[in-house]
């Protein structure tokens, strides 16, 4: 449903288009006579279209980043640094001391001392200089000089009094991106691993790298997927858990999976995945499918499969996703399994939507939810990680203009922003490996899923970024659902929340804030891994561990540091912990329900057709 235009309140008989706030009002300017002079509708609309089109054209060359936002951050930093002589003196002192450290290190190495004793160590997540060749002259001096320079620039872009936190983060981030681009690991002449490889292969690695680059360019221009993804075809290799599509509307298909046990728990499980990617991350290969695991534990599982929106879906908003998504799925399940409460689980943005739906249902007296599970899902966005670098008024206006012209946010534009957050791993290291080493990283099911991205409707994405990220309306009680404000504290169903240690999309310190926003029982799990790999953490996966602690309604609040100290650590996957938690809140096993109902008959075999659409 399109947003209601505010132009009806303006003193004109011509309705204004519902675009930006500027286009929703008529500006009055003082005129020569007693009556104010009104801007014409044509001039206002034309100026709005020109500005938006200009921004949209620029956004295609800046990966959606607003030049005005970057300039604002830079000027804030540069101006305050210019008026901070003490800080500049400190930076000069740091530069002198780092140069001295490097000179001492060079002398130390020249005297044939142990070259493995470095003057600076890379950060734990930085593996660019792990190879033993980097400890040999002159590459030890090269990479040590780079790390010292990187550390100096971090000091130069942070800790300046008066700079706003976001501007400081943006400048530090931008400096880090430029330094990562100039890393000695990215160039043949300064990377000993590349030189060794080139000598060993007679330069054939560079030839193969050029072939890889040409192949990737051809695939990009032709709109084809990455090499290797053809080995993970949806419905043949991944997303193959047996099931039926039992409901379909313009936004979702609802999949009911076949039972894997003779009896099942009476309460079904509904999974609401993120629509920023396709649902089958939770139903990958048989060995790491969360759906298959749950059915094997005796649960009836339903999964929402979101439609990949097009320009015709530009006006779908967050309320449409709640009503046509979560509520429609619950209604369909209630027709198949009547008078049964439902365990609902949401992943990433799907978890955020589920929390809104659960709060709305609690407010309206709808008690169908037996429990709520939130997987790497944020409900408070004040500490939403490095994604907040791209969330301010200037950036959102720029991004909205790009989506306004297209009707959606394209998959490549979203992927570019996420890759920037981990440019070392996702951009530069990958380019070195593919185009200079001449190697191809073996494709996995998770990587193939990650390449199968979806679009985001204009209105929904704008509302999501503004109301949740920018204004934090949900956590602060201003978010309106069904025409009225909702509060998460109204949820009485027990909550199982999962955060992942290295999540750069939904940092666990942000996910942990569910404790502050709800009064119900909360079982919180902190698991090893990142936003995707931490959730796809099947039993038997090596090197997995997690912490878990339950807060009963009435217990005192534990901040995240105290929580880490008190929560016991367990080895292995968190999946059995969740299955046991669900089982404790479920009834005795009963005969499996039918596949579909008279109201919701089986329409097609899983995985359905929405997941197959590009």
Ranges in the chain, pLDDT < 50: 1-31
And the tokens for 152? 């100096």
Spatial neighbors of 502 by CB under 8 A, at least 6 apart, are 125, 528, 529, 530, 534
Question: Is residue 401 a part of any domain in this protein?
Answer: no
Look at residue 560 and give its three-state secondary structure: helix
Number of domains observed in the structure of the chain? 3
Question: Is residue 359 a part of any domain in this protein?
Answer: yes
Query: Same domain for 343 and 477?
Result: yes
Quote the CA–CA distance of 468 and 63 in Å, as a whole number: 22
Query: Same domain for 264 and 147?
Result: no
Selection from 376, 377, 356 nearest residue 487 by Cα: 356
Q: What is the per-residue pLDDT across 268-315, written as a single tens digit (0 to 9) for each?
A: 999 999 998 899 999 999 999 999 999 999 999 999 999 999 888 989
Q: What is the pLDDT of residue 424?
A: 60
Domain boundary among 169, 199, 229: 199
CA dihedral 191, 192, 194, 197 (to 10 degrees): 180
Query: Same domain for 44 and 93?
Result: no
Domain boundary among 163, 183, 199: 199
- Which contiguous run of DSSP H or E holds residue 460? helix 458-463
Query: Same domain for 74 and 43?
Result: no
Query: Same domain for 482 and 590?
Result: yes
Query: Same domain for 102 and 37?
Result: no
**Is 348 considered catalytic here?**
yes
As to burial, measured by CB atoms within 10 angstroms (0-12 exposed, 13-18 middle, 19+ buried), residue 586 is buried
The CATH number of residue 373's host domain is 3.40.50.1820
The distance in angstroms from the start CA to the end CA of the chain is: 24
Q: What is the pLDDT of residue 62?
A: 64
Query: Same domain for 44 and 76?
Result: no
Question: Is residue 2 a part of any domain in this protein?
Answer: no
Query: Same domain for 190 and 280?
Result: no
Query: Same domain for 195 and 330?
Result: no
Selection from 82, 95, 89, 69 nearest residue 173 by Cα: 69
Host domain of residue 29: 7-53
Q: What is the pLDDT of residue 179?
A: 92
Quote the CA–CA distance of 178 and 168 in Å, as a whole number: 16
Q: Regarding beta strands 252-257 and 269-272, do their DSSP bridges make them parallel or antiparallel, or are they unpaired? A: unpaired
Query: Same domain for 98 and 23?
Result: no
| pTM for the full predicted model | 0.84
């Amino acid at each position: 449903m399109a947003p209601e235009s505010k132009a009806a309140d303006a003193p004109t008989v011509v309705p204004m288009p519902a675009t930006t706030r500027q286009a929703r009002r008529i500006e009055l300017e003082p005129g020569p006579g007693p009556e104010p002079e009104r801007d014409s509708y044509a001039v206002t609309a034309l100026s709005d279209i020109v500005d938006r089109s200009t921004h949209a054209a620029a956004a295609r060359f800046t990966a959606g980043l607003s030049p005005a936002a970057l300039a604002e951050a830079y000027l804030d930093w540069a101006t305050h640094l210019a008026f901070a002589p003490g800080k500049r003196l400190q930076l000069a002192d740091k530069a002198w001391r780092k140069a001295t450290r490097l000179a001492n290190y060079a002398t130390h190495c020249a005297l044939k001392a142990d070259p493995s004793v470095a003057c600076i160590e890379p950060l734990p997540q930085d593996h660019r200089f792990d190879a033993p060749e980097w400890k040999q002259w002159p590459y030890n001096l090269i990479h040590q000089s780079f790390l010292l320079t990187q550390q100096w620039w971090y000091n130069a872009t942070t800790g300046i009094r008066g700079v706003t936190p976001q501007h400081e983060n943006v400048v530090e981030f931008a400096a880090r991106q430029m330094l990562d681009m100039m890393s000695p690991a990215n160039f043949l002449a300064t990377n000993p691993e590349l030189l060794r490889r080139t000598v060993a292969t007679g330069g054939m690695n560079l030839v193969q790298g050029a072939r890889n680059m040409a192949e990737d360019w051809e695939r990009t221009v032709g709109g084809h997927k990455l090499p290797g993804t053809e080995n993970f075809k949806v419905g043949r290799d991944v997303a193959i858990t047996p099931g039926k599509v039992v409901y379909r509307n313009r936004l979702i298909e609802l999949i009911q999976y076949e039972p894997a046990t003779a009896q099942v728990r009476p309460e079904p499980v509904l999974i609401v995945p993120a629509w920023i990617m396709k649902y089958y991350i939770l139903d990958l290969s048989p060995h790491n499918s969360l759906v298959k695991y749950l059915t094997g534990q005796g649960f009836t599982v339903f999964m929402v499969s979101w439609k990949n929106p097009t320009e015709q879906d530009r006006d779908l908003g967050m309320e449409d996703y709640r009503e046509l998504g979560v509520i429609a799925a619950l209604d369909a399940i209630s027709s198949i399994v009547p008078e049964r409460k439902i365990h609902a689980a949401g992943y990433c943005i799907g978890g955020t939507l589920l929390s809104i739906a659960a709060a709305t249902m609690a407010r309206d007296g709808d008690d169908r939810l037996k429990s709520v599970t939130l997987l790497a899902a944020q409900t408070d966005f004040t500490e939403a990680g490095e994604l907040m670098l791209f969330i301010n008024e200037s950036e959102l206006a720029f991004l909205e203009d790009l989506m306004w012209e297209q009707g959606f946010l394209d998959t490549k534009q979203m992927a570019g922003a996420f890759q920037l957050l981990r440019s070392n791993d996702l951009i530069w290291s990958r380019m070195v490996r593919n185009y200079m080493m001449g190697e191809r990283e073996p494709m996995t099911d998770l990587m193939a899923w990650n390449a199968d991205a979806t679009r985001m409707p204009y209105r929904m994405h704008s509302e999501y970024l503004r109301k949740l990220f920018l204004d934090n309306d949900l956590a602060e009680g201003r978010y309106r659902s069904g025409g009225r404000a909702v509060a998460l504290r109204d949820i009485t169903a027990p909550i199982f929340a999962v955060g992942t240690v290295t999540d750069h999309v939904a940092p666990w310190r942000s996910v942990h804030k569910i404790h502050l926003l709800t009064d119900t029982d909360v079982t919180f799990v902190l698991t090893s891994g990142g936003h995707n790999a931490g959730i796809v953490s099947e039993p038997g996966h090596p090197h997995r561990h997690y912490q878990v602690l339950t807060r009963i309604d009435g217990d005192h609040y534990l901040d995240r540091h105290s929580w880490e100290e008190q929560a016991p650590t367990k080895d292995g996957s968190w999946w059995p912990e969740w299955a046991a938690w669900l089982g404790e809140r479920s009834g005795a096993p009963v005969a499996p329900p039918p596949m579909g109902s008279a109201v919701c008959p089986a329409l097609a075999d899983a995985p359905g057709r929405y997941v197959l659409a590009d």
